[in-house]
Structure 1
Amino acid sequence: MDDPTDDPRSARVSPRRDPGPPWVLGPVGERVPDVERIAVLRANALGDFIFVLPALEALRAAYPSAEIVLLGAPWHAALWRDRPGPVDRVLVVPPRPGIREPGPDESPVDPAGFLAAVRAERFDLAVQVHGGGANSNPFVAGLGARVTAGLRADDAPPLDRWLRYVYYQHEVIRYLEVAALVGAPATTITPTLAVTDADRAEAVAVLGAPTRPRVALHPGATDTRRRWPAEGFAEVARELVADGYEVLVTGTPVERETVDAVVAAAGVPLRPQVGTLGLGALAAAYADCALVISNDTGPLHLAAAVGAPTVGIFWVGNLINGASPLRGRHRPIASWTTRCPVCGVDCTPGIYPHRPGDGDCPHRVSFVADVPAVEVVEAARELLTPLRSTR
């Protein structure tokens, strides 16, 4: 009988006999032979994409001659245009339940036509690093790749090689384990995004060259439960302006009210930037900042990926899943609130059948309002203070 491990779809993961690269995090599966083209599904938001960058780097290192094609959203295509990194090309996935929502003024795309075009590309490997797989695994399985791999929650069909989706796991490590299924061990645990000359030029055109060190505050977040109150950001802004820093307050157009509230409450000169910077220019602006202070949201993770020190304000569950484990230049600050401040319902994910708290509470009040401003200021000043010689 043939050895089943000769089948490249085999889900068996054999431990390596050699110690491997320094960032090997666990068992590494067999590498898929003769791979020329890899599809990677990750079509969600900015922070979600930043988390998957180390997995993309692992795939690039393991399959250096393969084309890596990101199946993403329109903003991925715009961000990745002429940007060095592990993605060679972006294919925009049509809006589809559980995959991505349609954007404003987005033209309809025939899903059947898109799928036929993708299948014609004859991908050798398709990797699902999008989520638990209930919707994304059937989509990935339909791409026609020789080998599929990804995550699988209890309600999701399996791929050829799969890893169980468990809610409480750091997102970066989660996707690195998926990459390892196909013989791509980790080369780093730190997401890194290149800033281009075009990004820098756009940022300077909007902001001008800094005349003193800059700090950026980002008080918004899509989920209002992750928003620290405007008064907290305002207090931090006052302290930093008094310390001699120029303070930017960044936000998307839908966050204008939040940004305006911070500026009004601060009572000191700040520089609000609402929708003035494209995503690449925002990355460049953060890269030039001495510090970025933000709620747990995409811009926080973008700032870290372009090399800025950060102070992040996290709900404790999200701290587990998303806060940087590095402390040389990052300080995550946690709120330990787990029950809704309005109704008292346990809002931690109900990942066990016997456990209450499925997160179904209808209230969307802040779960991080109890973080003291003094703690944020202290963390900020610690990161802003140059390291002193210990000779």
Structure 2
Amino acid sequence: MQLIGNGGPRFDDVHEVAVLRGGGLGDLLFALPAIDALAAAYPDARVTLLGTPVAPAVLAGRTASVHAFEELPIATGVRDSGDGAPSREEFYARTRGRFDLAVQLHGGGRNSNPFLLGLGARHTVGTATEDAEVLERWVRYVYYQHEVVRGLEVVSLAGAAPVTLDPRVLVTEPERAAVRERLGVADRLVALHPGATDPRRRWSPERFAAIARARLAAGDDVLLVGDASDRVAADAIRAELGDPARLHDLVDALPLTELPVVLAAADVMVGDDSGPRHLAVAVGTPTVGVFWFGNVVNAGPFDRGRHRVHMSYVTRCPVCGIDVTQVGWTAERCEHDPSFVDEVTPEVVLADVADLLATVAPRR
């Protein structure tokens, strides 16, 4: 397959590869196609992912492309917080001089490039904003680019061609079946994730409740997933529905290690632009996503046979009127957190849920 962007030849004598990708669940998943490309381009090398504890929780035993994990220390712009994180001294004591190739998939490089250079790797590739220190081979960081393609463009600088566009997280059929049996699912299971890190990306609980109500009426089981930050939304959904027998609430009750299997057990997943929705894509579950249109550029699914997208077209904050299309470091974020996506109606989402249930063959 052709390299993306400028590309470059593969480096010689690469036996140890480091990939820097901190951040949340979605950030991790967007990096996986690039990591798969690296593993294919350097089949004799060991790939170590430098990330947060999210990485081994989700990926250990579920990908053949990552062979080891190193937890990042607290460092500005690389990892801002985390209990039990190693010190920078401990981290570099384990990693400095160990890698032949270090790959930066973590933002624009203002903070992450100096951090990566501290590894002392023989070769480095990554992105760079105009004010960032550049690496041996680099490409300009421009915010509006799909994160998967950005990662693939970076690894192409090291001669790694794409092998997939979607992230892939392995879940076996027996694992899926065990979850469905544990929940007592007789036929179809629709999963809902009513949350997102940025509150402006959250579809309101009453809209998720409308999806749940309609699918329960159609005879489906409905599953709520999420972490502690999604508890308020889940409670609001349950208050709208009462306590139906086929509603399964696993919000703030599911270890991250189990989330891939639970999402894989669903026939369709409905969610915001969030880590769990991206994980559903990675485990092969069809999704219907509710997105702010700008986020579709960076994070939307690629195909429409399995994944549907509904967009809102808010360009100014509904409270103060500031332009919200200028993101990242290019504009100040206002302090308001209204939903940017509530103009998407439950009816259009339900239509796609029904269409996916009718057109995508069940895996069981």
Please, what TM-score do these two structures have when normalized by structure 1? 0.87
1:288 matched to 2:265? yes
Which of the pair has more CA radius of gyration? 1
Alpha-carbon separation, structure 2, partners of 1:380 and 1:197: 22
Amino acid at match of 2:272: N
* Pairing 1:375–2:351 present: no
Secondary structure of the structure 2 residue equivalent to 1:385: helix
Partner residue in 1 for 2:113:
137
Give the % identical residues: 45
1:349 aligns with 2:318: no
CA contact (8 A) 2:57 2:257 kept: no
In 2, Cα distance between equivalents of 1:265 and 1:329 = 29
Q: Is the 1:199–1:283 contact (alpha carbons within 8 Å) kept by the matching residues of 2?
A: no
Identify which of 224, 232, 236 aligns with 1:261: 236
Partner of 1:211: 186
Whether contact under 8 Å (1:220, 1:259) holds in the other structure is no
Secondary structure, in 3 states, of the residue corresponding to 2:9? coil
With over 3 angstroms needed to count, the CA separation of the structure-2 counterparts of 1:383 and 1:345, relative to structure 1, is same
RMSD: 2.1
Instruction: Kindly indicate whether residue 84 of structure 2 is the aligned counterpart of residue 107 of structure 1.
Output: yes
* Mean CA deviation greater in 306-315 or 109-118: 109-118
Comparing 23-32 and 90-99, the one that deviates more: 23-32
Matched residue SS, 1:274: coil
CA positional deviation for 1:221: 1.1
Structure 2 portions without partners, runs of 5+: none
SS at match of 2:262: helix
Q: CA offset at residue 78 of structure 1?
A: 2.9
Q: SS of 2:124's equivalent?
A: strand
Residue 167 (structure 1) aligns with: 143
Change (3 A) 1:108 1:302: closer
Counterpart of 1:62 (choices 41, 44, 47) is 41
Corresponding letter in the other structure for 2:51: G
Aligned residue number for residue 52 of structure 1: 31
Q: Which amino acid aligns with 2:187?
A: R
Number of residue pairs aligned between Structure 1 and Structure 2: 359
Residue 185, structure 1, aligned to residue 171, structure 2: no
Q: Deviations over 1:322-345 (max 9, x none)?
A: 001201110011000111111111
Alignment of 1:156 onto 2:132 = yes
The residue number in structure 1 matching 2:333 is: 360
The aligned runs of 1:25-40 (5 Å cut-off) are 25-40=4-19
Q: Pick the aligned partner of 1:228 from 193, 203, 223.
A: 203
Structure 2 length-normalised TM? 0.93
Cα gap change, 1:178 to 1:143, in 2 (>3 Å): same
CA distance in 1, matches of 2:172, 2:351: 33
CA 1:301/1:361 → structure 2, altered by over 3 Å: closer, same or farther? same
- Counterpart residue number, 1:97: 76
Unaligned 5+ segments in structure 1 are 1-20
CA change 1:350–1:259 in 2 (3 A) is closer
